[in-house]
Structure formats: C-alpha cells, structure tokens
Structure 1
Amino acid sequence: MRRLLARLWRLLRPVQNRIMWLLNAKFVVGVIGVVRDDEGRVLMLRHRMWPPDRQWGLPSGFAHKGEDLRRTVVREVKEETNLDVEVDRLVMLNSGFHTRLEVAYEARLVGGELRLDPLEILEARWCRPDDLPEGIQPVCDPLVRGETIP
C-alpha cells in the first residue's frame, strides 16, 4: 500500500504544491524587529491602531506573500520610521495562534533619519532595556531584554 501511495504521489508532482496548499492550514506571519542602536538602546514605537492600554511595542508588521522574513523586518522598519536596519539572528518563533505565526529578529540600526509614518506610528523612543515606556505589548519585555523565546 505504501509503495502504491508513493508512486501516486510521484505521479502528482506537477500539482503537489497545490494539493499541499489545499490540505494544510493557512497562516499570516507577523514579524517583529528588535532594533538596537550602537548604545544598546532599543527602538520602541507607540502604534496608532493598537489598544490604548498597550500602544507601545517594537516595529512590526505582516510578511507579504513570498517575502523573506528578514526582508519584512527591513521593510517594516523603513515604512514605520524611515530608518535602515541590518537584520541579525532569529529570537522568536511562536505558533499556536489561530491563524497567525509570530517571528522576531534582532536588528541593528545602520542609517536613515527618523521620520514616522503618521498613519501608523504616534511616537518613537530609544529606550534602555530597563527603562521601557508604560503600556508595552507583553512580548516586548523578554525580547528587549535579549531573551530568546522558543
């Protein structure tokens, strides 16, 4: 029986990706950038669309279809702040949300002049890890402190 299934699967090679797409769960991927400057401070943003009691967080957004997740960090930081970053190591990959995965990367400021996107961002601050603003998203604290979240 296994041989027959393997043979059938090989015959379906031209449409395997489509079959897998139909049979598996679909997710959006939220990507977070933990952006640090040369002084070790982290970039915190107050997001316009987030709940009033938790508006502060890290630069973030959703990956476009087919987009490399490191590229998503670079793009989102640029869109929200006009800053340029270089992406480093993966520090978080969370699943278990209904239809969303969350990924976070460390990133280093390499240039650009801070200019906020007023449609998304109300305020930006460079913060020391022990001096974060009130009302941050819960996931931010361990990320800012440099903890890897499995």
Structure 2
Amino acid sequence: MRRLLFRVWRALRPVQTRLVWLLNAKFVVGVTGVVRDEQGRVLLLRHRMWPPGRQWGLPSGFAHKGEDFRRTVVREVKEETNLDVEAGRLVLLNSGYRTRLEVAYEARLLGGELRIDPLEILEARWVHPDDLPEGVQPVCHPLVQGATTP
C-alpha cells in the first residue's frame, strides 16, 4: 500500500504544491514585540480597535507576505509609536485563534521619540512588569514576565 501511495504521489509531482496548499490550514501571522527599556519597563499600548475592557497590549500587527517576522516587530513598533527597536529572541510561537499564528519577540529600545499613531493607538505607557494596568490582554502577563513558549 505504501508503495502505491508513493507512486501516486510521484505521478502528481506537477500539482503537489497546489495539493499541499489545498489540504493544509492557511494562517495570517500576528507578530508582537515585548519592548523593554534600559530600566526593564515594558511598552504597553491601549489599542483603539481592540474590545473595550481588553484594549491594553503589546505593540503588534500582521506580517506582510514574505516579511521576516523580526522585521515585522521593528515596522509595527515604528508605525504605532515612532520608536526604534531591535528584535531579539523568539518568546512565543503558537497557532492562535482559528487561522492566526502568533509570534512574539523580545525587543530592545534603540531610540526615537514616543509619538503614537492616533488612528490605531489611544495611549502608550512604560510599565514595570509587576504593575500592568487593568484590561491588559491575558497573553501579555507571561510575556512581560519573561516566560517563553516557542
């Protein structure tokens, strides 16, 4: 039986990629940055489009097709806050809600002047990891404490 399957698979070589695409899940990739300053504080943002009561979270956004996820962190932080960061180690890799893949990296503040994008962000705060505001997204708690789940 395995030999037959192998032969069928080889015969399908011209359409293998399309078959694999059709038979597997498709995901969008949400990328998050756990941005820390030199005092160990974490950058939290109150997102305009997130549900009321759960608007506080880390800088995040969707990766563009073909974009390196570390580059997504740098781009999203810049777009949302005007700050420059360097992406560090991977701290989360998880299949998220339905068709969303979640990726998070530690990120180090390099500079820039904090200026929020008012279309996406209502407020920005540097907070100590033990002093998170009410209404923070649940995934933020372990990430700001330094927990990893790659």
- Tell me the TM-score normalized by structure 1: 0.91
List alignment gaps of at least 5 residues for structure 1: none
Aligned mates of 1:53, 1:46 — CA distance in 2: 10
Q: How many residues are aligned here?
A: 150
Q: Counterpart of 2:66?
A: 66
Q: Counterpart of 2:32?
A: 32
Go from structure 1 to structure 2 and tell me whether the alpha carbon gap of 1:35 and 1:9 turns closer, same or farther (over 3 Å shift). Answer: same
Q: Counterpart of 1:20?
A: 20
Aligned mates of 2:124, 2:4 — CA distance in 1: 60
2:81·2:117 contact (CA, 8 Å) conserved in 1? yes
Please show how residues 1-150 of structure 1 align to structure 2 within 5 Å: 1-95=1-95, 97-150=97-150
Cα drift, residue 7 of structure 1: 4.4
Go from structure 1 to structure 2 and tell me whether the alpha carbon gap of 1:124 and 1:21 turns closer, same or farther (over 3 Å shift). Answer: same
Q: What code does the residue aligned with 1:43 have?
A: L
Aligned mates of 1:57, 1:96 — CA distance in 2: 16
Go from structure 1 to structure 2 and tell me whether the alpha carbon gap of 1:125 and 1:19 turns closer, same or farther (over 3 Å shift). Answer: same
Please give the root-mean-square deviation of Cα atoms over the aligned residues, in Å: 1.6
1:143·1:149 contact (CA, 8 Å) conserved in 2? no
Shift >3 Å, 4+ stretches:
1-15
Go from structure 1 to structure 2 and tell me whether the alpha carbon gap of 1:13 and 1:70 turns closer, same or farther (over 3 Å shift). Answer: farther
Cα drift, residue 5 of structure 1: 3.6
- Tell me the TM-score normalized by structure 2: 0.91
List alignment gaps of at least 5 residues for structure 2: none
